[in-house]
Structure 1
Amino acid sequence: MNRSVISLVVLAALVFAGLSAVFIVDEREKALVMRFGRVVNVQEAPGLALKMPFVDEVVKYDDRILSLEVGPLEVTPLDDRRLVVDAFARYRITDVRRFREAVGVGNIGAAESRLDNIMRDQTREVLGTVSSNDILSSDRAALMLRIRNGAIAQAEGLGLEVIDVRLKRTDLPQANLEATFARMRAEREREAADEIARGEEAAQRVRAQADRTEVELVSEAEREAEVIRGEADAQRNSIFAEAYGADPEFFEFYRSLTAYSRSLQAGNSSLVLSPDSEFFNYLKSSQGTAGAARE
């Protein structure tokens, strides 16, 4: 009975020891076998691997492409126009042994902290050699490539490979932004004032031209009216002269009737005339002056 128990205990210990000597590496991971704080093996291929049971420790690291958000930082381009830049980097752990030696037990958090400093230094260095217009333009791929190339060499010391760097946002600081907006408003107001002044000048020219044209047209119309009026008066006088020559008595009778109709109307001023005035010749006799003479 005791031998059976001892045998089961020994068998269980052997099984446990055997299981402790085996570990699995996922295809998305890389593993380090640590013995008393020293790296004794690097396991990069996925599958089963062996280690010293109860002595070795297995530390696994992510083998996938990772992302690092670089917080807002101020840069000063060549034209001294400060900008606030946001960036992010994509990287992966390529040398787990060097990574472990560089960051120790801090793992990814410590590595990203140091990589963040590298990215900030490279971003300031590269963007400080160009103007703000180059940074704000849509064609800034060359700047991102320069930042990436500068970060690669420093990241190798951490066992990392910087795959890509992108500038997400490039804005002016709030104080500079307000000053820039104020300057833009002032420029637009100045341009608007110039346009208004030019418009007023053009309007004055148009009005002056219209006034001159009006005077010319009115003068020409009055001249033509005077000519037509003179011709009409001449034609009228000619007709009157012909009518008077054809029948002087009828012409005088017509003129008298015209005078009566114009003077003897409601609202006209009163006439004070002698009863024997010649004005009443055709009112006193139906035959007029000639009839009165015959009587």
Structure 2
Amino acid sequence: MRRSQFLIGVVVVALVALVNSIYIVDEREKALRLWFGEVTAVIEEPGLNFRIPVLHEIVKYDDRILALDTDPLEVTPADDRRLVVDAFARWRIKDPVQFRRAVGASGINGARSRLERILNAELREVLGGVDSGAVLSADRVALMNQIRDQARIQSASLGIEVVDVRIKRADLPAQNLAATFERMRAERQREAEDERARGREAAQRVRAGADRTVVETTSEATKQAEIIRGEADARRNAIFAEAFGRDPEFFAFYRSLAAYEQSLLGENSTLVISPDSEFFDYLKSATVE
């Protein structure tokens, strides 16, 4: 009986030891085997592996590309226009041995904290050397690539590789928005007033041109009318002169009739003229002998 219990105990201990000596490395992981804190093996291939219980420590790290979202950071570009920048990075563990030596037992969380400090420093350095317009424009890929390259160099000692850096958002601080909007509104009002002034100036030029055209057209019409009137008067006088030359007596008679007509235009015309006046020569009756 005791022998059986002993054998059962030995089997249980052996099974526990066997279970504790086996570990599995996933295809998404890299593992380090440590001997009293020192790295003795790097396991990069997925599968079943063995260790000495208690003596060997197995540390696993994610081998995929990891994300790091930084907290909003206030930066001051070259034109002293403060901006709040929100960025993110994509990174991976390139050298697990170097990574273990750099971050120790803090692992992924410790690496994220140190990488965020590196990224914030590079954001301040790169964005502080350009105007805010370059940061706010859609074409800021060159700036993001520059931040990525410098962060990659600074983080190489951690055994990690920075794959990509992107700026998600770049806005003005909340306390500056009202002043900025007011400045933008004033600028738009100034531009609108300039447009109105140019419109009034153009309208004035159009009116002046139209007035000049009216004066020129009226003057030309008046000149033509005077020329035509003068030519008509000359023609009329020529006709009168020709008629007078042919029959002076008839012309005198015609002139007298015209004088009568002009004198008797009114409704109550009264003429006080001597009966012997030449004015009545053509109104007198012929003497019958």
Tell me the residue number matched to 1:285. Answer: none
Aligned to 1:228: 228
Distance (whole Å) between structure 2 residues aligned to residue 150 and residue 206 of structure 1: 61
Q: How does 1:2-151 map to 2 (within 5 A)?
A: 3-4=3-4, 6-34=6-34, 39=39, 41-53=41-53, 56-137=56-137, 140-151=140-151
CA distance in 2, matches of 1:80, 1:207: 48
Quick one: structure 1 residues 204 and 40, their matched pair in 2 at CA, closer, same or farther if it must change by over 3 Å? same
When normalised by structure 1's length, the TM-score is: 0.71
* C-alpha RMSD of matched pairs (Å): 4.1
Equivalence for 2:155:
155
Distance (whole Å) between structure 1 residues aligned to residue 52 and residue 65 of structure 2: 31
In 2: Cα distance, 1:153 partner to 1:218 partner = 84
1:71 aligned counterpart, secondary structure:
coil
Deviation at 1:160, TM superposition (A): 2.0
Which whole-Å CA distance do the structure 1 matches of 2:268 and 2:15 have between them? Answer: 151
Q: Distance in 2 between matches of 1:159 and 1:222?
A: 98
CA distance change for structure 1 residues 151 and 208 in 2, over 3 Å: closer, same or farther? closer
2:148 aligns to what SS in structure 1?
Answer: helix
* Percent of aligned positions that are identical: 55
Residues 133-163 of structure 1, C-alpha deviations (whole Å, 9 max, x = no match): 4444555444334433332344234332222
Aligned pair in 2 of structure 1 residues 144, 212: CA closer, same or farther (>3 Å)?
closer
Distance 2:39 2:135 in 1: 45
In structure 1, runs of 5+ residues without a counterpart are 282-287
C-alpha deviation, 1:30, in angstroms: 1.3
Stretch moving more, 191-200 or 112-121: 191-200
Structure 2 residue runs without a partner (length 5+): none
Counterpart of 1:284?
A: none
15-24 or 139-148: which moved more? 139-148
Secondary structure at the aligned position of 1:121 is classed as: helix
Q: 1:101 to 1:186 in 2, by over 3 A?
A: same
- Distance of 1:187 and 1:75 partners within structure 2: 25
Cα distance in 1, alignment partners of residues 159 and 220 from structure 2 = 98
> Against the structure 1 CA distance between its residues 240 and 199, is the aligned structure 2 distance closer, same or farther, given a 3 Å change threshold?
same
TM-score (ref. length: structure 2)? 0.73
